Amino acid sequence: MLHTRRTGGLFNLSRLRAKTKTKRVLIRELLYADDAALVPHSEVHLQNLCERFAKACSDFSMTINLKKTVVMSLGTSIPPRILINGSPLNVVDKFSSLGSVVNSSNNLDDEINQRIGKASTNFGRLSSRVWKNHHLAIKLKIKVCTACILSVLLYSSETWCTYRRQENRLSAFHFRCLRFILGVSWTDHVPNSTILRLTG
């Protein structure tokens, strides 16, 4: 898989399956976006795509940022060596694309760590102005939490295939937030069912 920050395309499975049309259609569509993920059939196929892509960019006076262009391979023990204009591309185990983490092991742990970290940062920023503000109703605080924290926590989650332990981590973070908003400590021994009832 090649990930480049300069150009992008549309993900269309029927076009990816049609080997005779894939190169031509992708190159033309890639010229109008900022991100791309090329999914080739082999290392040779990826090198061929990159060469055609570099030529198309050159024809349109566009440049590829080689520092932000990376290669990630799945299911191979030997990393591919891909060149664009004679310069080798960095081979990585993971990269960030459109706010999500993609890794070569197809594991969601990195993505969930990032989502919890970003949501936690946002939660902390609102601590004094919202969560500890006694002039705001609990109902309003929960709406702010849903809009500003849960949306960050669950960004792109509709594409996830999670395990129970990963769902438990997300749920634990959510309950920590709700308990903080309510001013309830773990030492108060209030069950999660009560927390859900109190926050609606």
Residue 4's pLDDT is: 46
Q: What is the CA radius of gyration of the chain?
A: 22
Low-confidence winner among 17-21, 81-85, 134-138 (lowest mean pLDDT): 17-21
Token couple for 28: 């033309």
Other CB atoms within 10 Å distance of the CB of residue 196: 12
| CB distance 89 to 32 below 8 Å | no
**What stretch of H or E contains 115?**
helix 109-125
CA distance 195 to 68: 45
Which residue has tokens 């391979």? 73
CA 47, 52, 55, 60 dihedral sign is negative
Token couple for 71: 């290669």
pTM of the model: 0.67
Residue 131 has pLDDT above 90, yes or no: yes
CA distance 61 to 58: 5
Residue 18 has pLDDT above 80, yes or no: no
